[in-house]
């Protein structure tokens, strides 16, 4: 569906209004076949004409006000549909997959109904002959489009929600770095802490940069309706960079074996994403086993080794 | 035309000329000194009156032409003003070829033609009598205001120069003056209405422009 200016309802209303005004103005004030008139009749004819025009101007102004109100609502709908389209493009380019079908269908349905409103109006508009009709019809059209606009507005947060997961991941990543810095880094004795700090800084730069970029993109779309064409970043480029930094971090940690480091990072990461300091041991074993791809017993054994080395605390309770 | 409070009489110049000629003939064939003296006196009086009256006719004709010319100009101005009013109507409708004539202007133009006709036409004495009757009353009827009705600006001027030389009027000039007054009154009345029409049609043009402007810029 095209959303360019020529397919909007307002120009249709404005064009027909202009035509009606021209028709009204070009009507001869004199009765047909009048060639000679006396001055009193002329005064009456002109007086009636002035009154007629004044009435028509008031009706036209009323119609124009209604068209302007319609314009506000219609512009809002058009903008929202464009923004939804931009969010869809952004999502599909970033994740390299289609947006959920239900969201896509909802947007299409709104756009379809808007198109139907336009088509119906295009079929009727040439029959409008006066400003009362224009005012009445633009008011009705505004109600219809207003309903569509409400639906589109409701849809907007659902589209924005599509980016919440990646934002949560990035925020959790930042929290992982912070926890790693506070809880793991001070306990390292055999590793080069400066190098590790440098890698952790790179993590921060990656997460915060990606988060800021995402926010800016979403803000540009929702505030300015920016059209999305090519993206400098996708989820792949971010995750690839993150993977390299993880490898660098694992390589720099000499106090633990690679697998121990990997499991420790998973535990820090999980607790950070849950915003908690403690994880049940059984659950920690299960998560580690799943994500690293080792049996749960083995995972428990490694976790206990890490604990033995002083990098984790194990709680005891009843 | 000679007139008094009790009645009036139309005398043509030819009649006066004939009378003088007859008196001269009488003198020519008589030896009676009384007749010669009395006729000579009458001839002298008549010739004086004739001279005075011919001057009055010439002045009246000249003045009549001036009045006709002035009315003609007023008429042109009225036509021009109506044309402007009509132009405003055309402007307000954006229609070309709108042709409407004003009945009053046509009537005034016809009356002006009557004045021009009076200046050149030669009516019979009977016709002139019929024409002056509505103003002067019946020939033998008494009318205290007859002088006011028949006295003209030319009489004023000549009286100022030469003194009173009888109650005589140039009928055509009296008729022309009366007609001119009527035309001028109609023209003045029309002029006032045209003033108001001018305002009204200007308002019409403004309203039309405002009306078209309402959607002109927005529907581009």
Torsional sign, CA B58, B60, B65, B69: positive
Give the integer Cα–Cα distance in Å for A46 and A64. Answer: 26
Q: Which residues contact B21 (CB under 8 A, 6 or more apart)?
A: none
Q: Which residues contact B111 (CB under 8 A, 6 or more apart)?
A: B179, B182, B183, B186
Give the integer Cα–Cα distance in Å for B68 and B74. Answer: 10
Give the integer Cα–Cα distance in Å for B3 and B139. Answer: 9
In terms of DSSP bridges, do strands B101-102 and A36-37 run parallel, antiparallel, or are they unpaired? parallel
The whole-angstrom distance between residue A153's C-alpha and the CA centroid of its chain comes to 10
Q: What is the pLDDT of residue A317?
A: 62
Nearest to A32 by CA among B103, B104, B100: B100
Give me the half-sphere count of Cα atoms (radius 13 Å) on the Cβ side of residue B155: 18
The 10s digit of each residue's pLDDT in A266-297 is: 888 888 877 777 777 788 888 888 888 888 88
Q: Which domain holds residue B164?
A: 7-210
Confidence band of A104 (pLDDT split at 50, 70, 90): very high
Give the integer Cα–Cα distance in Å for A84 and A3. Answer: 13
Over residues A70-78, mean pLDDT: 92
Averaged pLDDT score across all residues of chain A: 88
Over residues A303-309, mean pLDDT: 85
Question: What is the least distance, in Å, from the CA of B147 to any CA of chain A?
Answer: 36
The 10s digit of each residue's pLDDT in B8-25 is: 999 888 888 999 999 999
Question: What is the least distance, in Å, from the CA of B94 to any CA of chain A?
Answer: 6
Q: In DSSP terms, which residues pair with B9 in a beta bridge?
A: B2
Joined tokens for residue A177? 């770095």
Note whether B101 contacts A53, CB cutoff 8 Å.
Answer: no
Question: What is the least distance, in Å, from the CA of B202 to any CA of chain A?
Answer: 10
Let me know if residue B220 belongs to a domain: no
**Residue A16 CB-density burial (10 A; 0-12 exposed, 13-18 middle, 19+ buried):** buried
B130 near A64, Cβ under 8 Å?
Answer: no
Extended strands (E) in chain B:
2-4, 7-9, 101-102
Let me know if residue B2 belongs to a domain: no
Rg for chain B, CA atoms, rounded: 27
Q: What is the pLDDT of residue A3?
A: 33
Joined tokens for residue B20? 């003088």
B2 near B136, Cβ under 8 Å?
Answer: no
User: Domain count of chain B?
Assistant: 1
Nearest to A137 by CA among A147, A148, A122, A152: A122
In terms of DSSP bridges, do strands B7-9 and B2-4 run parallel, antiparallel, or are they unpaired? antiparallel
Joined tokens for residue B111? 């009356």
Over residues B131-147, mean pLDDT: 90
B205 near B91, Cβ under 8 Å?
Answer: yes
If one counts every other C-beta atom within 10 angstroms of the C-beta of residue A249, the result is: 22
Nearest to A149 by CA among A186, A110, A178: A110
Per-residue pLDDT at B191 exceeds 50: yes
pTM of the model: 0.74
Cβ of residue A29 closer than 8 Å to a chain B Cβ: yes
Q: What is the pLDDT of residue A308?
A: 84
Note whether A57 contacts B207, CB cutoff 8 Å.
Answer: yes
The whole-angstrom distance between residue A60's C-alpha and the CA centroid of its chain comes to 39
Joined tokens for residue A115? 């198109």
Cβ of residue A43 closer than 8 Å to a chain B Cβ: yes
Helix (H, G, I), strand (E, B) or coil at B151: coil
Residues 105-164, chain B, touching A (beta carbon < 8 A): 106
Q: In DSSP terms, which residues pair with B7 in a beta bridge?
A: B4
Let me know if residue B37 belongs to a domain: yes
Q: Which residues of A touch B207 (CB under 8 A)?
A: 50, 53-54, 57
The 10s digit of each residue's pLDDT in B49-74 is: 888 889 999 999 999 999 999 999 99
Cβ of residue A32 closer than 8 Å to a chain B Cβ: no
Note whether B100 contacts A64, CB cutoff 8 Å.
Answer: no
Q: Which residues contact A167 (CB under 8 A, 6 or more apart)?
A: A211, A214
DSSP state of B9: E
Question: What is the least distance, in Å, from the CA of B110 to any CA of chain A?
Answer: 15
Q: What is the pLDDT of residue B28?
A: 93
Nearest to A57 among B190, B201, B211 (CB): B211
B137 near B143, Cβ under 8 Å?
Answer: yes
Q: Residue B185: in which H helix or E strand, if any? A: helix B171-216
The ipTM (two decimal places) reads 0.80
Let me know if residue B44 belongs to a domain: yes
The 10s digit of each residue's pLDDT in B34-45 is: 999 999 999 999
Nearest to B103 among A21, A25, A37 (CB): A37
Nearest to B93 among A25, A38, A64 (CB): A25
Query: How many contacts (CB atoms, under 8 Å) link A and B?
Result: 97
Over residues A172-187, mean pLDDT: 88
Which one of A33, A37, A46, A56 would you mutate to disrupt binding with B, by most B Cβ within 10 Å of its Cβ? A46
Let me know if residue B45 belongs to a domain: yes
Q: How far is CA A289 from CA A251, A263, A305, in A?
A: 21, 9, 15
Note whether A43 contacts B193, CB cutoff 8 Å.
Answer: yes
DSSP state of B6: T
Over residues A225-231, mean pLDDT: 79
Contacts 24+ apart (CB under 8 A), A49-53: A49/B92, A49/B204, A50/B200, A50/B203, A50/B204, A50/B207, A53/A24, A53/A25, A53/B204, A53/B207, A53/B208, A53/B211
Nearest to A48 by CA among A30, A34, A24, A22: A30
CA nearest to B100 within chain A: A35
CA nearest to B86 within chain A: A42
Residues 3-22, chain A, touching B (beta carbon < 8 A): 11, 14-15, 17-18, 21-22
């Amino acid at each position: 569906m095209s959303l360019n200016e020529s397919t909007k309802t307002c120009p249709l209303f404005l064009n027909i209004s202009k035509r009606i005004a021209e028709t009204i103005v070009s009507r001869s004030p004199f009765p047909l076949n009048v060639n000679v008139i006396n001055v009193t009749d002329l005064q009456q004819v002109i007086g009636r004409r002035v009154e007629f025009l004044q009435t028509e101007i008031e009706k036209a102004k009323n119609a124009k006000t209604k068209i302007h109100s319609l314009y506000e609502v219609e512009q809002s709908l058009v903008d929202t549909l464009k923004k939804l389209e931009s969010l869809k493009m952004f999502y599909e380019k970033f994740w390299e997959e289609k947006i959920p079908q239900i969201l896509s269908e909802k947007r299409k349905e709104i756009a379809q109904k808007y198109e139907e409103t336009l088509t119906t109006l295009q079929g009727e508009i040439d029959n409008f002959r006066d400003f009362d009709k224009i005012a009445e019809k633009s008011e009705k059209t505004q109600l219809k489009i207003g309903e569509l606009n409400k639906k589109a507005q409701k849809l907007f947060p659902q589209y924005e929600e599509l980016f919440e997961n990646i934002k949560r991941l990035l925020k959790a990543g930042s929290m992982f770095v912070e926890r790693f810095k506070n809880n793991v880094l001070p306990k390292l004795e055999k590793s080069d802490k400066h190098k590790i700090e440098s890698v952790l800084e790179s993590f921060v730069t990656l997460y915060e940069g990606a988060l800021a970029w995402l926010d800016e993109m979403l803000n540009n779309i929702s505030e300015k309706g920016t059209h999305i064409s090519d993206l400098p970043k996708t989820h792949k480029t971010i995750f690839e960079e993150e993977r390299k930094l993880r490898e660098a971090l694992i390589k720099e940690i000499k106090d633990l074996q690679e697998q121990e480091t990997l499991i420790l990072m998973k535990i820090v990461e999980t607790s950070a994403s849950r915003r908690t300091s403690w994880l049940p041991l059984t659950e920690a074993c299960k998560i580690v086993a799943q994500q690293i791809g080792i049996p749960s017993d083995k995972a428990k054994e490694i976790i206990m080794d890490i604990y033995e080395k002083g990098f984790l605390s194990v709680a005891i309770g009843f | 035309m000679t007139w008094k409070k009790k009645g009036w009489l139309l005398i043509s110049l030819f009649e006066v000329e004939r009378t003088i000629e007859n008196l001269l003939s009488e003198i020519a064939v008589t030896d009676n000194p009384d007749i010669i003296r009395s006729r000579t006196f009458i001839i002298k009086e008549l010739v004086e009156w004739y001279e005075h009256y011919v001057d009055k006719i010439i002045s009246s004709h000249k003045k009549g032409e001036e009045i006709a010319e002035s009315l003609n100009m007023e008429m042109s101005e009225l036509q021009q003003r109506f044309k402007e009013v009509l132009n405003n109507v055309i402007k307000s409708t954006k229609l070309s070829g709108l042709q409407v004539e004003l009945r009053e202007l046509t009537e005034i133009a016809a009356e002006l033609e009557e004045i021009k006709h009076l200046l050149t036409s030669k009516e019979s004495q009977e016709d002139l009598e019929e024409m002056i009757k509505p103003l002067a009353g019946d020939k033998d009827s008494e009318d205290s205001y007859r002088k006011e009705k028949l006295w003209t600006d030319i009489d004023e001027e000549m009286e100022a120069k030469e003194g009173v030389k009888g109650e005589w009027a140039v009928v055509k000039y009296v008729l022309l003056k009366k007609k001119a007054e009527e035309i001028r009154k109609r023209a003045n009345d029309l002029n006032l209405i045209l003033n108001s029409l001018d305002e009204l049609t200007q308002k019409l043009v403004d309203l039309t422009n405002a009306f078209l402007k309402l959607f002109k810029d927005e529907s581009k």
